[in-house]
Structure 1
Amino acid sequence: MEQQRMGIIDIGSNSIRLAIYERTPEGAYRVIDGSKQAGRLSEQIDGEGKLNEAAVDRLVGTLHRFRLLCFHHRTERIRAVATAAIRNAANCGDVLDRLAKETGMTVELLSGKEEAAYGFLGMLNTMDVQDGFLIDIGGGSTELSLFRSRELIRSVSFPFGAVNTSKRYADKGTLDDKSLAEFESVLRKAIEAEPWIREAAGLPLVGIGGTVRTLAKMHQAQIKYPLRQTHNYGMRPEDTEALFASLQELSLEKRKKTPGLSKDRADLIVPGIAILRTFFRACRADRYLICGAGLRDGLFFDSVLPSGGRLDDPLGYSIANIGALYPDAPQPHIEQVNRVASALYEALAPHYPIGGQAAACLRVASRLFRIGAGIDYYQYAKHTFYLMVNSHLNGISHRGILISAAVASYKNRSGARQLHQTYKPIMADDDLETVYRLGTLLQLAVALDRSESQPFTGLAADIRSNKLVLRPIGQNGPLTMERSEVEALADDFKKVWGLTPVLESTS
């Protein structure tokens, strides 16, 4: 498979962003470069509703720079889209014509529903959420969607974004109580025109875009969250309210010093959260979920994947993608360890309760346990842990990511205890026992293919007295190395499971 590269440009109302995606020869996708330029296009609308010439000049310059960056990376295709600021401008057609003429790019103008649909696709393919509301707060508009059983049911675009709300209601980003009440009243009236919004109470409000990502970063900094990842991060409504109240009281200069808040968003964060909390109440949602993916990701999936770009198994896709990014481990060995680990789990789980999303975590760990070998074989467990917690492992919770990484990198109980202590705010007390059990189970699965020759095609495992009897099915090679490894592992396995593994031979 040949290497392929594609650039996606999102001309938003607040920022203009470029992401360059690469498809590797092994079939994995990754972002290899990106750029962001503050545009504040929603602030550049004149009295006639037109995007002013100076803003268009800057936009042309930005697109020229982005195109040059794509050229240097030898991208085969550039896909550029524009959203609310240009969509709502009175001179929209003239702006698009000028961009095409002066940059050579045909910019797609997305409708509000198209913008919502691409944002939904980005979320759908990176999170395992069945039902909920999706909100995308941009600079010049907010898109709200309702989804059930991972199907988009309704969506609507409102002409309220962080930039134009700040311009109209906030003085240098300061939204006093009177202006806040006025804005909330206007927004509530707009929401009332869409009665379906109040008919699905008790669902999560999943947020995409800079406002919600910044909200998550500030909250994580406040509670000293030990994992640097906002995707799939959950927040309680009371935490959002407390943060909003504290930010509203600060002057712009003091607000810029808030941990987790970038200076270029300091004047937009209060209006942005004001929009978010108003919709949260209108939806009668039960919690916030932050999605790190969004419009650009949806455009990417739509451009490169068949069947409308939808993934039925986001976790399986991201496991395969990460594995393909680090292809040093022999794939037949990985597949064999995964099969054997699954067989062991099926034999043991009915008799030994294992919590902490055990099946999903073992699925992840048994496929990714060797990715660290591409950095250093002798310390691959340490590198595997780092890569797993810092990669795009989608469709599983932060807690699940940490358990999976701890299992994949498991060496002994002492090391697992150290990891558990480091990430204790995320990992529950009983997760340590889960790591012990799944970690030793994975070690046993690896031992049963120590020769990396797949000496049998299947495995039956039975519990007899205090033994775990392992019976290879379809043996097609010697088990000398595997038997030695199982015997060496037996004491550690027994300490955790109370069972001594015994490998029988069928030949």
Structure 2
Amino acid sequence: MKRLAAIDIGSNSVRLMVVAVERGGGYRLLDEEKAQVRLGEGLVQSGALSDAAQERALEALARMLEIARSLEADTVRAVATAAVRTASNGPAFVARVRETLGLDVEVVSEIEEGRLAFTGAAASFDLPGRTAVIDIGGGSVEIVRAADGQIESITSLPLGAVVLTDRIGTADPPAREDLRAVRRHVRESLRGAFGEDPEPVTVMIGSGGTATSLAAVVAAAAGDDYASVHGRELSLSDVVHVYAQLKSLTLEQRRAVPGVPDYRADIIVAGALVVREAMAVLRCNRFLVNTRGIREGLVLETIARATGRRKGADPSAAIVRFGKRCRFDQRHAEHVNELALSLFDSMADESLTADDRRLLETAAMLHDVGYFVGYEKHHRHSCHLLTYADLPGHSPRDMAVVAAVARYHRGGLPKARHEEFARLSPTDRDTVSKLGGILRLADGFDRGRVGRVRSVTLERRDDRVTVTADGDADLHVELYGAREKADLLEKAFGVRVRISGA
């Protein structure tokens, strides 16, 4: 691959980025193009993409493919987000694009959309401490929270600028009561996702047209050039003041505000409201603008795939690198992993495979990475970090299983109301319960975290299992820890477990 064209089909706009691929996984920007097609227009009311919106999108895509061809792009990758993802006729639209233009469009999930936004942000900004990346589209808002560059959570909410503009209504300027109702809806949605007292973030990095337009308005008011606002910093006060200004103006008056693009004047109030509320709920005072967003993440991910940089990576080395970034206790992790694999080899039944053993190894090595986020409920933090970890050799399904196994190394047993467990297939739930039971017991055998248990042997007779630990010192603490954590293995395998020392 020498030249790549990346196309982001959003609810409000379609954007193209054409790059020349360079050695080492970098790129050189050749051209960019965008078109405001309002693909998500009327979607809230009808649940479907309108014929007119589809025609606008097809016309824009045809033009962008021409640009890509003129720049000799040998690879074209297109993704669609919220509008196509949620529309009842989204699959039909994707098929129509393929038949009409010969372009295959990937409809990405909310998690993948957030991951791409984060990848794009991480390429341009340092992400120290607790940060958030927010991508404000037309149909949805993705908010990615991270700790020192490691994704902790990805949240997608139907709070896009086009969707909320439809909720605000047609009064011009917007009616106060309508704005109050929408603001209440946005804040309740954010609090429902993040709780009443979420961890504050030090900086929020915003992408999408709303972010760039807000920055342009602030720059213009300060007498600065607003042709390029990449990296511009806004305070919460800046956002509050711009929102207060714009919400009181008519559509025509907003179009006359320096920095507000004509095509965004009708939805900028809703977009500004989302940024204001997100910063308030997450107690953030700094907002940095990323003008590239998802499409840069798409470019970087595609280059990584095509150049084989990820394919050639050593999965085991990548696991250790991830653990070190999360400051894990490598000695404890390796010891628990050794014990867990020994238990697996003795305990596994016909339902467990060699691939399940590989996933157990990943979960065992990384089960404690949640300490990186906080001591309390660290098993849940481990689950979140691993859900969004991008490890070579591990598919999204693999990581969902690994995350759930790590989540159950301590704390409560799997329950249908646990989101990370409920979203798995029935087969994967059984696998998680069994692997989680093995990991839980192995972790119990290193209760003191000093590796006193050298080895374990397991004997299984019908529904009775005896696990014998061998070590150099007094194993009282370790045996107690194992007995306390044998519950999930007993439940998952339908056995009674006896723990003893050699």
TM-score w.r.t. length of structure 1:
0.57
Equivalent in the alignment of 2:207: 208
Q: Which amino acid aligns with 2:179?
A: L
Amino acid at match of 1:214: S
Work out the CA distance in 2 between the residues paired with 1:308 and 1:120: 21
Contact 2:25 2:300 in 1 (8 A): no
1:183 aligns with 2:171: no
SS in 1 for 2:47: coil
Whether 2:43 is the aligned partner of 1:45: answer yes
Asked whether the equivalents of residues 170 and 271 of structure 1 are also in contact (C-alpha less than 8 Å), the reply is no
Alpha-carbon offset, residue 25 of structure 1: 8.6
TM-superposed CA distance for 1:173, in Å, is 6.7
- Partner of 1:8 in structure 2? 6
1:280 is the counterpart of 2:262: no
What is residue 264 of structure 2 aligned with on the other side? Answer: 265
Tell me how far apart the structure 2 counterparts of residues 143 and 299 of structure 1 sit (CA, whole Å). Answer: 15
Instruction: Answer with 174-183 or 100-109: which moved more.
Output: 174-183
Query: How many angstroms apart in 2 are the aligned matches of 1:167 and 1:264?
Result: 16
- Give the direction of change, closer, same or farther, for the CA distance of 1:35–1:4 in structure 2 (3 Å limit): same
Aligned to 1:264, the other structure's residue is in SS state helix
Q: Distance in 1 between matches of 2:283 and 2:312?
A: 31
Matches within 5 A, 1:212-231: 212-225=211-224, 229-231=228-230
Q: 1:216: Cα distance to partner?
A: 0.7
In structure 1, C-alpha distance between the alignment counterparts of 2:116 and 2:71, rounded to whole Å: 25
Counterparts of 1:238-387 in structure 2 under 5 Å?
238-305=237-304, 306-307=309-310
Secondary structure at the aligned position of 1:125 is classed as: helix
Change in Cα spacing, 1:214 to 1:46, as seen in structure 2 (3 Å) is closer
State the AA in 2 paired with 1:258.
V
Shift of 1:24: 5.9
Residue 108 of structure 1, CA deviation: 0.4
Question: What's the offset of the Cα at 1:34?
Answer: 2.3
Q: Which residue of 1 aligns with 2:108?
A: 110
Closer/same/farther in 2, CA of residues 60 and 122 from structure 1, 3 Å limit: same
Tell me the equivalent position of 1:23: 21
* SS, match of residue 59 in structure 2: helix
Distance in 1, Cα, partners of 2:140 & 2:33:
22
Secondary structure, in 3 states, of the residue corresponding to 1:41?
Answer: coil
Return the offset for 1:126.
Answer: 0.8
Residue 294 of structure 1 and its aligned partner are, at CA, apart by 0.7
Structure 1 residues 437-448: aligned runs within 5 Å: none
Q: How far apart in 1 are the matches of 2:204 and 2:196? A: 11
Distance 1:50 1:231, change over 3 A: same
1:71 aligns with 2:53: no
SS in 2 for 1:193: helix
Residue pair 1:121, 1:309 contacting (<8 A) in 2 also? no
SS at match of 1:194: helix
Cα distance in structure 2, aligned partners of 1:168 and 1:38: 20
The amino acid that maps onto 2:216 is K
What SS is found at the alignment partner of 1:230?
coil
CA distance, structure 1, for counterparts of residue 221 and residue 56 of structure 2: 36
| Separation in 1, partners of 2:26, 2:136 | 30
The residue type paired with residue 99 of structure 1 is: V
User: Could you tell me how far 1:83 is from its partner in structure 2?
Assistant: 0.5
- Partner-residue secondary structure (3-state), 1:101: helix
For 1:89, the equivalent position in structure 2 comes to 87
Cα gap change, 1:227/1:129 in structure 2, threshold over 3 Å: closer, same or farther?
Answer: farther
Residue aligning to 1:161 = 160
Q: Distance in 2 between matches of 1:197 and 1:118?
A: 28
SS in 2 for 1:90: coil
**Count of residues paired in the alignment:** 309
1:161 CA drift (Å):
0.7
* Secondary structure at the counterpart of residue 62 of structure 1: helix
Point out the more displaced range, 23-32 or 138-147. Answer: 23-32
- Structure 2 contact 201–283 (Cα < 8 Å) conserved: yes
**Aligned-partner residue type, residue 201 of structure 1:** P
User: SS where residue 143 of structure 2 aligns?
Assistant: strand
**Cα gap change, 1:275 to 1:173, in 2 (>3 Å):** farther
Q: Hey, what's the Cα distance between the residues in 1 that align with 2:226 and 2:137? A: 26
Distance in 1 between residues matched to 2:131 and 2:173, nearest whole Å = 31
Structure 2 distance, partners of 1:25, 1:173, is 53
Cα drift, residue 201 of structure 1: 1.5
Deviations 1:178-219 (A, max 9, x none): 111101211222223223584212522221111011111110
Letter in 2 for 1:89: A
Q: Which residue of 2 aligns with 1:100?
A: 98
Unaligned runs of 5+ in 1: 313-507
Match of 1:212, as an amino acid?
A: A
CA shift in 2, pair 1:209/1:287, >3 Å: same
**3-state DSSP class of the match of 1:212?**
helix
Distance 1:121 1:66 in 2: 23
SS at match of 2:40: helix
How far the C-alpha of 1:261 sits from its partner, in A, is: 1.3
Q: Secondary structure at 2:124's aligned position in 1? A: coil
Shift of 1:227: 8.0
Q: How far did 1:30 drift?
A: 2.0
- For 1:281 and 1:236, locate their aligned partners in 2 and report how far apart those are by CA, in whole Å: 11
- Asked whether the equivalents of residues 302 and 308 of structure 1 are also in contact (C-alpha less than 8 Å), the reply is no
Measure the CA separation in 2 of the matches of 1:134 and 1:95: 29
Report SS of the residue matched to 2:49: coil
Question: How many angstroms does 1:37 deviate by?
Answer: 1.4
CA gap 1:218/1:139 in 2 versus in 1, 3 angstroms: same
Aligned match of 2:330: none
Contact 1:172 1:252 (8 Å CA) reproduced: no
Structure 2: give runs of 5+ residues left out of the alignment: 314-320, 322-502
Match of 2:140 in 1: 141
Change (3 A) 1:168 1:75: same
Describe the SS at the equivalent of 2:3: strand
Helix, strand or coil: the match of 1:42? Answer: coil
